[in-house]
Structure formats: C-alpha cells, structure tokens
C-alpha cells in the first residue's frame, strides 16, 4: 500500500473515532497523522494536500490546518449515518438536482479560482438558496476563507439603466457624473476573495443578449 493511501485510511479512521466520541468531526492535523503512522509531518502534510487537490478530503483553514475525509460511513446506536457536504442539505441533491450539483461543485473547484456560474430557473425555484450553498461549499472544503464575503445584488433595480448598474458593480471616481461627490468602490471589489451573486440578470440590464 502506498504511503498516501495509508494517510487517507488513517485520516478516515481518526475522523470516525472523533465522531464516535463527540458525534461531530472537527478534523485531523498533519501532526496527528504523522504521529499515528510514525512518519515525518512534512510527508503527511504533502500527502494530505495531494488528497485535497484530488477532491478526496476537505481542508479546514486555521492553525493548525485540519483535514476531514469527504464521506464517512459511521454507525450510531440508532441508524447508519453518512457525513457528506453542504449540498446534501438540498432536496433532490442526489436525484433531480444531481447533475446541477455536480456541475456546481466542478465550477467551484476548477483551478485556480473557480468558474463564473449562471443559475437558470423560474421564480421561486430556489436559485438564491442554491447560490448560498455554492458559497458555503468552498468554505467547507477550504477553497475560500471562512470569513470570505458573500455579496448579493439585485440587477432588476437597475433595469434599463446599464450605465448606473456598471457604476454599482465596478465603482466610480469622484466627478464621473453629476452626484458623484466621492470615490466609491464597486461590489466586485467588495466581494473579492468571496462570491458576488447577481440576481435577476436580463436583457434590460445588458447581461443577456
């Protein structure tokens, strides 16, 4: 068995142990893995980061950095329990929305910083909720910081006025137009390092042709 496989199995075992004792999985450090397997911490850290890049483990940013396996098969006194990810909170995540969830995850983990995503659906189908889950997932797996911003902006409020919409998104310099009495940063800058969710995109505000 390769060392990286031993590291993964050890991580899974320690996560199972945490759940059995505390009914939650907080994560395992590279030092704990190294101690359990009697290997160098740098080797354990290297293998854990490789497993993270391959999407097999979750990284919890902090000091020290902690790792969790993505899926744990654990048995409680009452029933079998499976710890997965935040997308499993969505009804239909493994059925009617399975393809959408897979595409969303792929967009989030696409190197280096993910892909822009367009959510389509009728009013009331849960696009805003899905966007919030897409924000929670990269925090959960360590792709963005826990305090990363989630900025929501309703473009419908600026229908038929794309110029003003652009100023909201990208900011303005003092004197750029009447009423611009000071510099103002845009929403894109405010959302740096996190997610900017634009609601109600349409041909009226210049986003959909």
Which domains, from first to last, does the chain contain? 3-83 (1.10.10.10), 116-205 (3.40.50.300)
Taking a C-beta distance cutoff of 8 angstroms, is the pair 130, 160 a contact? no
Taking a C-beta distance cutoff of 8 angstroms, is the pair 146, 193 a contact? no
* Distance of alpha carbon 59 from alpha carbon 138, whole angstroms: 10
The single-letter DSSP state of residue 83 is E
- pLDDT, greater one: 94 or 8: 8
Residues belonging to the chain: 209
* Distance of alpha carbon 34 from alpha carbon 7, whole angstroms: 8
Taking a C-beta distance cutoff of 8 angstroms, is the pair 139, 145 a contact? yes
* Distance of alpha carbon 157 from alpha carbon 200, whole angstroms: 9
What's the pLDDT at 80? 40
* Distance of alpha carbon 107 from alpha carbon 208, whole angstroms: 20
> For the segment 68-123, what is each residue's pLDDT rounded down to a tens digit?
987 654 434 333 444 467 888 888 888 888 899 989 988 998 888 889 999 998 88
Average pLDDT, the chain: 83
Taking a C-beta distance cutoff of 8 angstroms, is the pair 101, 93 a contact? yes
CA torsion angle for 93, 188, 144, 71 (degrees, to 10)? 0
- pLDDT, greater one: 190 or 158: 190
Confidence grade of residue 56 (pLDDT, cut at 50, 70, 90): confident
What's the pLDDT at 203? 59
- Would you call 204 helix, strand, or coil by DSSP? helix
> For the segment 177-190, what is each residue's pLDDT rounded down to a tens digit?
667 778 888 999 99
Determine the average pLDDT of the residues in 25-39: 90
Determine the average pLDDT of the residues in 126-149: 90
Cβ neighbors of 115 (< 8 A, separation 6 or more) are: 106, 107
Confidence grade of residue 141 (pLDDT, cut at 50, 70, 90): confident
Confidence grade of residue 200 (pLDDT, cut at 50, 70, 90): confident
What's the pLDDT at 104? 92
What's the pLDDT at 82? 47
* Distance of alpha carbon 69 from alpha carbon 51, whole angstroms: 9
């Amino acid at each position: 068995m390769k060392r990286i496989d031993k590291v993964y199995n050890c991580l899974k075992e320690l996560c199972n142990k945490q759940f059995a004792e505390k009914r939650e999985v907080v994560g395992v450090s590279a030092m704990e893995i190294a101690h359990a397997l009697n290997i160098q911490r740098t080797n354990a850290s290297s293998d854990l980061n490789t497993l993270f890049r391959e999407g097999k483990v979750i990284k919890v940013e902090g000091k020290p950095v902690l790792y969790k396996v993505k899926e744990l098969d654990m048995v409680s006194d009452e029933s079998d329990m499976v710890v997965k990810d935040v997308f499993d909170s969505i009804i239909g995540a493994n059925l009617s929305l399975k393809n959408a969830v897979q595409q969303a995850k792929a967009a989030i983990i696409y190197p280096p910083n993910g892909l822009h995503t367009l959510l389509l659906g009728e009013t009331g189908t849960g696009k805003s909720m899905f966007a919030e889950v897409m924000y929670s997932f990269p925090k959960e797996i360590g792709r963005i910081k826990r305090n990363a911003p989630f900025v929501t902006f309703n473009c419908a409020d600026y229908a038929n006025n794309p110029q003003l919409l652009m100023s909201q998104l990208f900011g303005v310099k003092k004197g750029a137009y009447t009423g611009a009495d000071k510099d103002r940063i845009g929403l894109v800058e405010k959302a740096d390092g996190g997610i900017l969710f634009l609601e109600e995109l349409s041909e009226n505000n210049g986003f959909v042709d």
